[in-house]
């Protein structure tokens, strides 16, 4: 199964890019994994309407949905798992014989309703609120952790 972690928009923070890259490289040993940052939604006003931003980001995101069997939106209202439970969810997806699972980190205003309606699952990384930038390395690390759990490796300690 191929897994893609897609983030809406580019990050300008070097530490976020470097942290995400560490786990992207580590994941290559376990699964076909891609990390993708999309182009930024270009809006004419700096104080754009949140719905207009969501719509612009939806248009960008839809270009990446072809061939995706399972769409997971990272969302603060999504389901939270322990790392072990999340590993079991990844195993379940693998066991279903999916070709491509896409995990998406939205922009600052979340997802348009038309994207939400296409989702197979909603995932929260916990009850705290994190910026859509900071979630990038956190999500990549949790995907890496899930794979080490499934392989029985000592990275995760319970």
- Predicted local confidence at residue 45, as pLDDT: 57
- Predicted local confidence at residue 25, as pLDDT: 97
How far apart CA 148 and CA 69 sit, in angstroms, is: 23
Distance of alpha carbon 156 from the chain centroid:
20
Spans in the chain with pLDDT lower than 70: 43-47, 158
What structural domains and CATH numbers belong to the chain? 2-150 (3.40.1280.10)
Closest CA to 69 of 102, 41, 42: 102
DSSP of 112-143, one letter per residue?
-HHHHTT-SEEEES-SS---TTTHHHHHHHHH
How far apart CA 69 and CA 141 sit, in angstroms, is: 22
Sheet with strand 121-124: strands edge to edge: 32-37, 2-7, 100-105, 70-80, 121-124
How far apart CA 125 and CA 142 sit, in angstroms, is: 9
- Predicted local confidence at residue 158, as pLDDT: 66
- Predicted local confidence at residue 46, as pLDDT: 60
Please state the pTM of the whole predicted model. 0.94
SS3 51: helix
């Amino acid at each position: 199964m191929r897994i893609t972690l897609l983030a809406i928009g580019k990050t300008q923070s070097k530490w976020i890019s470097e942290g995400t890259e560490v786990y992207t490289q580590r994941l290559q040993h376990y699964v076909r994994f891609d990390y993708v940052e999309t182009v930024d939604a270009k809006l004419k006003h700096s104080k754009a309407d949140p719905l207009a931003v969501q719509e612009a980001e939806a248009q960008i995101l839809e270009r990446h949905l072809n061939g995706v069997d399972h769409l997971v939106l990272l969302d603060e209202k999504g389901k939270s798992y322990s790392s072990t439970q999340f590993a079991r969810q990844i195993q379940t997806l693998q066991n279903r014989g999916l070709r491509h699972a896409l995990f998406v980190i939205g922009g600052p205003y979340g997802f348009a309703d038309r994207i939400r309606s296409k989702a197979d699952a909603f995932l929260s990384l916990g009850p705290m609120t994190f910026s859509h930038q900071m979630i990038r390395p956190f999500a990549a690390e949790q995907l890496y952790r899930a794979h080490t759990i499934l392989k029985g490796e000592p990275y995760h300690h319970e």
